[in-house]
Amino acid sequence: MRFIAVALILWASTAHGDVLGLKFGMTTAQVKAAKPCKTPVANAAKLSLTCKAVAFAGTKMDAELWVPRTGLARVGLTTRIGAARKDAESAADAILDKLVADYGPLDMIGAGQLKTSGALFDNADRTFAQFKGKLKADSVFTANHAPDDTMKISGKLIRDRSGYAIELSFATP
């Protein structure tokens, strides 16, 4: 299946150096001790730990924590948020509200400040329909912070044949 990425990427950097109670640079042992989930599963080939059903903004998201020798470098969160737009939109709004509260305002590239997830859904739905459901359609949003911030955030709303999903990434710059 081919992918289409609509030019709306969530890039944010923030002075907050943590997510899920984790700080960037933590060792694998420190990450496990911080208990981001009940039982993190190690993947030595990817230098990562995975956690299922981590609570984030009222949803349960799967987390992948990339921990190379230099310490925790990236936290990825993913979840399916619904097959119907109405259900998915309320879950997406809760996630966006948490991001705004913790990391500052979000912008949709070329469309200005993002107040709700509606514009993301409109864009993803329009693109998905344009390609007659044969491609995944992504809508991405950004938050801009000071150049000296210590975290970049990227994420996207995904529309596919199964409905909607959201992916977030928190990483060191």
Closest C-alpha among 81, 96, 94 to residue 165: 81
pTM for the full predicted model: 0.84
pLDDT of residue 11: 33
Residues of the chain with pLDDT under 70: 1-17, 109-110, 142-148
**What is the signed CA dihedral for 170, 13, 8, 97, rounded to 10 degrees?**
70
Handedness of CA 168, 169, 170, 173 (dihedral sign): negative
> Do residues 75 and 95 touch, judged by C-beta distance below 8 A?
no
141-154 residue pLDDT tens: 766 666 667 788 88
Domain ranges of the chain: 3-171
